[in-house]
Amino acid sequence: DAGITQSPRHKVTETGTPVTLRCHQTENHRYMYWYRQDPGHGLRLIHYSYGVKDTDKGEVSDGYSVSRSKTEDFLLTLESATSSQTSVYFCAISDSSGSSYEQYFGPGTRLTVT
């Protein structure tokens, strides 16, 4: 398995509170991604990073921000959580060289906003 961990794995928070999810990789891959997965919508890209301090928005980026200060860590922040952000969040990594064109996923974080 690709070396990707996510923390926390489960979180319950209240509406209006800030939340930060962490993704950590040991593969030294260049690209990192945050997705959310909801019934009927599949996996939707929130933000992605193509290098340290280089990030870009995905299709559902409103209400989310990201930061990548080190190759191995990619943080997703909900500045003020809303109930519509209740979801399962997956981090993924990929590269663009050798056999690493595939994208590998972390175990996921289940976030509930009450």
What does the binding site for another protein look like in residue numbers (CB under 8 A)? 31, 33, 35, 40-45, 48, 50, 58, 90, 92, 94, 96, 101-108
Q: Output the six-digit token pair for 32.
A: 């990192």
What are the φ/ψ torsions at residue 85 (nearest 5 degrees)? -95, 5
Would you mind telling me the total number of residues written for the chain in this entry? 114
Q: Which is nearer to another protein, 44 or 86 (CB)?
A: 44
Q: In the complex, what is the shortest distance from the CB of residue 8 to another protein, in angstroms, rounded to a whole number? A: 15
Q: In the complex, what is the shortest distance from the CB of residue 42 to another protein, in angstroms, rounded to a whole number? A: 4
Q: In the complex, what is the shortest distance from the CB of residue 52 to another protein, in angstroms, rounded to a whole number? A: 16
Rounded CA-CA distance 70/111 in Å is 24
Q: Is 20 exposed, middle or buried (0-12, 13-18, 19+ CB in 10 A)?
A: middle
Q: Which is nearer to another protein, 17 or 41 (CB)?
A: 41
Q: Which is nearer to another protein, 12 or 43 (CB)?
A: 43
Rounded CA-CA distance 81/63 in Å is 8
What are the φ/ψ torsions at residue 91 (nearest 5 degrees)? -100, 150
Q: Output the six-digit token pair for 64.
A: 């989310």
Q: Which is nearer to another protein, 14 or 102 (CB)?
A: 102
Q: In the complex, what is the shortest distance from the CB of residue 48 to another protein, in angstroms, rounded to a whole number? A: 7
